[in-house]
Structure 1
Amino acid sequence: MPKDIEFHFKSPKDSPGYLLGQVTMLWQRKQKRVLDPLDLTQTQFVLLAALGWLSKKSNAVTQVDIANQSNYDRMMVSKVLRTLEEKGFLTRQEHETDTRAKIIRLTKNGELVLQKAIIEVENADLDFFATLDPELASFNSNMLQLIARNSG
């Protein structure tokens, strides 16, 4: 075993990146358990939720809007939206004035699945983060600071 390797942290339990990775993996597993019965992946749920959120304010939500809202790569968003369209959860139509853009709308089935998914995901989140309850607002604030500091 190499003895010359030096770590800044004395143990993995001291490394915030390692711990974040472990928490993320466990959270993703919990999300997968609640989304699998709805025939959704975590990414599909995020994009449907972004579409649902944006649709509350606009009837002309585009793929670019969804990519910006979710902070996902535009090409990946396009592929995932195509899959969601094949599942019957949304429609993609040509934009009336911008031929490069597509207008994305939830179908009735998409609205039903999204509403079920929101309930399941929010309940899973409440359960997963329950031990942080007294400090949850502070935890969220810290995550927002990390996002702001490391975005773009």
Structure 2
Amino acid sequence: MPLSPSDSPGFLLWHATLRWQRDISTALAPLDLTHVQFVLLARAWWLNTQGEHPNQLALARQAGTDVKMTSRVLRTLEHKGLIEREVDPADTRAKRLRVTDAGADLAPRAIAAVERADARFFQPVPLDKAITLLGRLAHPES
């Protein structure tokens, strides 16, 4: 006999994920960012602050996003004036990413908004336990 939905870890995870995604979308809406736009902007911003200017492929790999979708989203971020894509002198097929001043202003504010949403969402669970569980689920080979 199959488990009832309330006893199914997968079903519960699906519902928790949907709720979390709604919370993140709500937090980012005033900043005019989708969740994927946020992830790519925040990651590119962080890498730029470390002196790195990743190409689109490297950013997609680090973010865990599809390469073609990443390219489309980066084009949107470029149109919004948040990033610039520059031809890599070492490989003219690749585009290096640089966060603009507007993107560098927005990224930390967006990160703070997402962190507040995360804190509210995960408040019922001790943070160390949430990180341990989610880390195991995200990287079972570790």
**TM bracket, shorter-chain basis:** over 0.9
Unaligned runs of 5+ in 1: 1-5
Asked if 1:75 corresponds to 2:71, the answer is no
* Percent of residue pairs bearing the same amino acid type: 42
Q: Which has the larger radius of gyration?
A: 1
What is the total number of aligned residue pairs between the two structures?
142
Asked if 1:143 corresponds to 2:134, the answer is yes
Question: 2:59 is paired with a residue of what secondary structure?
Answer: helix
The amino acid that maps onto 2:82 is F
User: Structure 1 length as normaliser, TM-score?
Assistant: 0.88
The amino acid that maps onto 1:141 is T
Asked if 1:114 corresponds to 2:119, the answer is no
State the shift of 1:142 in Å: 1.5
Work out which structure has the larger RCO, using CA pairs closer than 8 Å and 6 or more positions apart in sequence: 2
User: Given the alignment, which residue of 84, 95, 99 partners 1:102?
Assistant: 95
User: Given the alignment, which residue of 6, 9, 13 partners 2:6?
Assistant: 13
User: Structure 2 length as normaliser, TM-score?
Assistant: 0.94
User: Given the alignment, which residue of 25, 31, 40 partners 1:38?
Assistant: 31
Runs (4+) off by over 2 Å? 56-60
Unaligned runs of 5+ in 2: none
